[in-house]
Amino acid sequence: MKLGVNIDHIATIRQARKTDEPDPVYAATIAELAGADGITIHLRQDRRHIQDRDLELLRQVVKTKLNLEMAITMEMVKVALKHKPDVCTLVPETAAEITTTGGLDVVMYGEKIEEVAGHLRAAGIEVSVFVDPDIEQLKACYKRGIRVIELNTGEYAKNWKSSFRDQELDKMKKAVAFAHKMDFKILAGHGLTYRNVGPIAAMKEIVELNIGHSIIANAAFIGLEKAVVNMKRLIE
């Protein structure tokens, strides 16, 4: 199983002082040397952490795979077409949220998603959609020509210590089984930590996990290289 490391919160620390450190580009280099299979960033419309210049430099530096999370807007399409990340993951985005709170509603926004995905694919960029582990959403993805998905593990992560853990884990298992049957390329992520990642990593149909906050949080104590190495060992 591959590991994509989300480095958004390196930029969050930097933007807290509006200075030039810590540098997300340096973080990406360390993560790759430690065994990360890809680097993920979310260029938000309000630019609260990752900035356009970060994307520009990361495109030049990242040697594995650069995954750009983005809202389904033409502004972001133009940015993606300019910098050509390897993958664009389409995500929901609102100004008030602290972090992404759920999967993209493909049933409701299917037409817009199809339009945005078409522009990106025409430029040779792989398109993934961040979606809840819901069968109807997966059917909508398939209908719109999406074949790469990232399943939202947020509810599982939020409930992993509660009585709802098994219920949320069962939802994930059913979604993974259905997606595998429909021949989706399956990724997963959101809220995963060193303590709760095991049951998700055990689902062999999932080819990659995207993890950010927990790795960066642990890096504050043990260093980014060791934090990436430890997570890589866990999911393998």
Would the pLDDT of 172 be above 80? Answer: yes
**Phi and psi, residue 23, nearest 5°:** -95, 120
Res 50: pLDDT: 98
49 in catalytic set: no
Catalytic annotation, pick one of 69, 150, 155, 208: 69
Q: Give me the catalytic one of 9, 49, 83, 190.
A: 190
Dump pLDDT digits (tens) for 46-70.
999 999 999 999 999 999 999 999 9
Which domains are assigned to the chain? 2-235 (3.20.20.70)
- CA nearest neighbour of 190 among 215, 209, 218: 209
Question: Is residue 119 annotated as a catalytic residue, yes or no?
Answer: no
Which of 42, 83, 155, 168 is flagged as catalytic? Answer: 42
Q: 23: which 2 tokens? A: 């540098």
Q: CA dist 144 to 90, 133, 183, Å? A: 13, 17, 14
69 labelled catalytic:
yes
The pLDDT of residue 179 is: 98
CA atoms within 13 A on the CB side of 78: 5
Task: State how far the Cα of 123 lies from the Cα of 102, in Å rounded to an integer.
Answer: 28
